[in-house]
């Protein structure tokens, strides 16, 4: 549907038969060619009245009063339609920001998160929603704290959604996604290691919801390279220097328990060779 704000818009025909509507304060006039064109004239009158407007004059050009606006002319179905503020003013919107990390380890508590927000124009309504938790923030819409402490022990994404609107305008949303992920580990060590203690002591770790990773380590003379992650992520393929392979495993280690008490089974891979020097590994 093509919507045009009324200003001076040719709406049908050409030459002497051009139909026009022009804005004049809170009043609109329609010009539609020869006065004898009663079919078109009556059609416009019917449209105007159907919209609940008042006919002011009925001469060679019609004039009618607008209801509360603003209004526009739809050049597809020839009906006067109400505009929302996004079609008149710069598009309304909002942003939502969280100052900390939005990725937490499985079992960690998100404790009463604080947010800042900004708006294109001052909102008339603003509400923050996090799952079943709802907070009306219109009293302080640019800085607020959610008094909730969600915690998840499985991979989860929890959106914090700000819904804002201005008077007479549509609602707009902005969100921050909080995620709970398990820890993955990489590093170097003596051959044949796979215990939970060894895994959690490796030099590199990261929170993730998949096994893919690029990392660099420098194993010593008797060291091998290790990579460990939850069994639920599936089997991995390794690449180094553009070549596939170079790792053995996986060995499955049960009950790797994090500091929040969440226990998972892990796959542990180790490099086939020791003393590889600085090596960049791509895991897929």
pTM: 0.71
pLDDT digits (tens, 9 = 90+) for 63-104: 433 333 344 444 443 344 455 555 556 778 999 999 999 999
Residue 100's pLDDT is: 93
Whole-number pLDDT of residue 43: 60
pLDDT (tens digit per residue) in 175-197: 999 999 999 999 999 999 999 99
Report the alpha-carbon distance of residue 262 to residue 3 in Å, rounded: 56
Q: Are the C-beta atoms of 229 and 237 separated by less than 8 Å?
A: no
What is the C-alpha to C-alpha distance for residues 206 and 225, in angstroms, rounded to an integer?
A: 16
Q: Among 88, 79, 255, which residue's Cα sits nearest to residue 166?
A: 88
What domains, with CATH codes, occur in the chain?
3-83 (3.30.1360), 94-181 (2.60.40), 183-283 (no CATH)
Flag residues of the chain having pLDDT under 70. Answer: 1-89
pLDDT, residue 36, reads: 40
Answer whether 28's CB lies under 8 Å from 63's CB: yes
Identify any residues that bridge with 118 across adjacent strands, giving them in sequence order: 95
Upper half-sphere CA count for residue 191 (Cβ side, 13 Å): 9
Phi, psi angles (nearest 5°) of residue 188: -140, 160
Report the pLDDT value the prediction gives residue 3, as an integer from 0 to 100: 37
Q: Is the dihedral of CA 64, 65, 66, 67 positive or negative?
A: negative
What's the pLDDT score for residue 169?
79
Q: Give me Rg for the CA atoms of the chain.
A: 33
Taking the CA atoms of 264, 99, 124 and 70 in sequence, report the sign of the dihedral they define: negative
Residue identified by tokens 């708006």 is: 119
Quick one: pLDDT at residue 47? 58
């Amino acid at each position: 549907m093509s919507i045009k704000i009324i200003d001076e818009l040719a709406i049908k025909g050409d030459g002497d038969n051009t139909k026009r509507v022009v804005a004049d304060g809170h009043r609109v006039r329609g010009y539609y060619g020869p006065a004898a064109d009663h079919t078109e004239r009556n059609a416009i009158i019917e449209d105007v009245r159907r919209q609940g407007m008042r006919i002011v004059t009925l001469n060679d050009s019609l004039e009618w009063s607008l209801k509360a606006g603003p209004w526009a002319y739809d050049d597809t179905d020839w009906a006067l339609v109400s505009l929302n503020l996004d079609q008149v003013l710069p598009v309304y919107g909002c942003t939502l920001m969280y100052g900390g990390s939005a990725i937490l380890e499985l079992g960690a508590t998100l404790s009463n998160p604080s947010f800042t927000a900004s708006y294109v124009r001052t909102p008339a309504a603003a509400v923050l929603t996090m799952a079943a938790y709802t907070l009306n923030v219109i009293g302080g819409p640019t800085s607020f704290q959610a008094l909730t402490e969600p915690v998840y022990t499985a991979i989860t994404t929890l959106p914090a959604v700000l819904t804002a609107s201005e008077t007479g305008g549509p609602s707009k949303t902005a969100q921050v996604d909080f995620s709970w992920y398990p820890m993955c580990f990489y590093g170097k060590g003596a051959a044949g290691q796979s215990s939970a203690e060894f895994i959690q002591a490796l030099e590199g770790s990261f929170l993730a919801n998949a096994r893919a990773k690029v990392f660099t380590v420098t194993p010593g003379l008797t060291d091998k390279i290790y990579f460990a992650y939850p069994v639920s992520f599936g089997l991995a393929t390794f690449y180094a220097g553009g070549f596939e392979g170079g790792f053995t495993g996986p060995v499955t280690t049960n009950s790797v328990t994090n500091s929040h008490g969440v226990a998972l089974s892990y796959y542990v891979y180790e490099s086939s060779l020791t003393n590889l020097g600085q090596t960049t590994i791509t895991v897929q």
